[in-house]
């Protein structure tokens, strides 16, 4: 994936220099003209160059003479997913992302990305991973390799494919290794900040330490999950239900090999012959409205299940999103071994 600044060109640059840069971009050939502060001024394609030359401009003229002055763009933290879907349907592939001052802060390429979700992602990576000892004695569980990549890198790359570019990673046990390996994300066109747990804060307590989210919706996920979850469908389902919190759930089917009777005062009122019951378990992936996170107490041990209980007590809307995709919690040695085989057949 290209760095987004490969698509930027400074005002005052000659058409000849722009042609050279467009040639390097090949099938992604579009440039966005900016000033010295990266403020978006216009866009330039091969077609704009051709039309400019036909009008009598030369390759030594400045690019601003032939640019399109009103390019399509989206504003960071202030757009709807429906806009991205419309861009996708309209075959617009390369779209600049600007801040409130119209400065370009990213470029999204819908030829490479599956979506561009308006969410921050928090990855919980502070656990000890004691069930995977001795592998985790010197390496934190999120950095254990599944195939050729660390578990947490599989998670990051999957979320990146859906356009998420604002990440927070909660770290504690051997967290320095995670920070050193992932860095600030700038080389991947993303932003990574770290939340340090001085003491264990449960499965979601560390989120209370984050005060500057970029979006109104927050995705929280465990770092030891391997999944092909469609995060766009997860988000659309969440929004369509106007939920406060959505939990990705794993269906479990229990086959009872006998007739099951429903009784009242020892009297049989109904029965089912060899029924199958479906239960839904917590998959460790959540979408949450930002204001709901205010319920999390500061610097206290607090689990995601505590948040669910508090939300229900407050008559909030908690929904389940039954997963139809691959999902594996890498908690035990047998799960780790299974993941090593499964990764050979997964498109993450």
Average model confidence (pLDDT) across the chain: 94
**How far apart (Å, rounded) are the C-alpha atoms in residues 230 and 219?**
13
Q: How far is CA 296 from CA 301, 308, 311, in A?
A: 9, 11, 10
* 119-245+282-345 under CATH 3.90.550.10, yes or no: yes
Q: What is the pLDDT of residues 147-193, one digit of tens each?
A: 999 999 999 999 999 999 999 999 999 999 999 999 999 988 899 99
Query: Is residue 1 scored above 80 in pLDDT?
Result: no
Contact 114, 85 (CB under 8 A): no
Q: What is the pLDDT of residue 264?
A: 86
Q: What is the pLDDT of residue 347?
A: 84
Is residue 25 very low, low, confident or very high in pLDDT (cuts 50, 70, 90)?
A: very high
Q: What is the pLDDT of residue 253?
A: 84
Q: What is the pLDDT of residue 268?
A: 86
Query: How much is the average pLDDT of 316-327?
Result: 95
CATH of domain 4-109: 3.10.580.10
Q: What is the pLDDT of residue 114?
A: 95
Q: What is the pLDDT of residues 99-128, one digit of tens each?
A: 999 999 999 999 999 999 999 999 999 988
Query: How much is the average pLDDT of 73-80?
Result: 92
Q: What is the pLDDT of residue 322?
A: 95
> How many CB atoms are closer than 10 A to CB 96?
24
Structure tokens at 170: 């909660």
Q: What is the pLDDT of residue 293?
A: 96
Q: How far is CA 160 from CA 154, 165, 193, 278, 334, in A?
A: 10, 6, 15, 32, 28
Contact 317, 243 (CB under 8 A): yes
Give the residue with greater pLDDT, 38 vs 257. 38
| Cβ-based neighbours of 60, under 8 Å, separated by 6 or more | 14, 15, 16
**How far apart (Å, rounded) are the C-alpha atoms in residues 299 and 335?**
32
Say what the pTM is: 0.90
Give all strands of the β-sheet with 74-75 in edge-to-edge order: 74-75, 94-98, 104-109
Query: Is residue 66 scored above 80 in pLDDT?
Result: yes
Lowest mean pLDDT among 53-62, 80-89, 203-212, 261-270: 261-270
> How many CB atoms are closer than 10 A to CB 260?
12
Q: How far is CA 334 from CA 110, 251, 331, 340, 341, in A?
A: 37, 20, 8, 10, 11
Q: How many percent of the chain have pLDDT more than 90?
A: 84
Query: Is residue 276 scored above 90 in pLDDT?
Result: no
Q: What is the pLDDT of residues 197-207, one digit of tens each?
A: 989 999 999 99
Domain(s) of CATH 3.90.550.10: residues in the chain: 119-245+282-345
Domain(s) of CATH 3.10.580.10: residues in the chain: 4-109
Q: How many percent of the chain have pLDDT more than 70?
A: 100
Q: What is the pLDDT of residue 110?
A: 94
Structure tokens at 103: 């400065």
């Amino acid at each position: 994936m290209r760095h987004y600044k490969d698509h930027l060109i400074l005002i005052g640059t000659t058409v000849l220099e722009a042609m050279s840069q467009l040639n390097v971009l090949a099938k992604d050939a579009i440039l966005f003209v900016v000033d010295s502060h990266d403020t978006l001024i216009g866009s330039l394609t091969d077609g704009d160059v051709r039309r400019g030359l036909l009008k009598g401009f030369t390759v030594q003229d400045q690019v601003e003479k032939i640019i399109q002055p009103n390019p399509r763009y989206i504003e960071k933290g202030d757009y709807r997913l429906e806009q991205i879907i419309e861009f996708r349907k309209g075959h617009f592939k390369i779209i600049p992302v600007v801040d409130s001052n119209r400065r370009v802060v990213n470029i999204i390429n819908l030829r490479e990305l599956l979506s561009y979700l308006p969410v921050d992602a928090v990855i919980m990576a502070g656990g000890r991973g004691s069930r995977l000892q001795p592998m985790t004695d010197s390496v934190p569980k999120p950095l254990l390799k599944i195939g050729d990549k660390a578990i947490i890198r599989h998670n990051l790359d999957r979320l990146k494919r859906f356009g998420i570019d604002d990440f927070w990673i909660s770290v504690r046990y051997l967290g320095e290794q995670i920070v050193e390996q992932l860095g600030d994300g700038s080389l991947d066109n993303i932003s990574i900040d770290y939340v340090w747990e001085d003491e264990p804060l449960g499965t979601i307590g560390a989120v209370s330490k984050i005060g500057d989210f970029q979006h109104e919706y927050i995705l929280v996920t465990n770092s030891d999950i391997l999944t092909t979850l469609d995060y766009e469908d997860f988000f659309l389902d969440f929004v369509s239900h106007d939920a406060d919190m959505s939990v990705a759930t794993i269906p479990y089917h229990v086959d009872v090999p006998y007739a099951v009777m429903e009784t009242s005062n020892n009297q049989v009122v109904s029965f089912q012959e060899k029924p199958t019951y479906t239960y839904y378990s917590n998959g460790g992936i959540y979408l949450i409205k930002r204001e709901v996170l205010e319920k999390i107490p500061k610097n206290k041990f607090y689990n995601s299940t505590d948040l669910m209980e508090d939300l229900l007590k407050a008559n909030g809307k908690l929904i389940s999103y039954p997963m139809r995709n691959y999902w594996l919690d890498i908690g035990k040695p047998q799960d780790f071994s299974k993941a090593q085989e499964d990764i050979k057949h997964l498109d993450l």
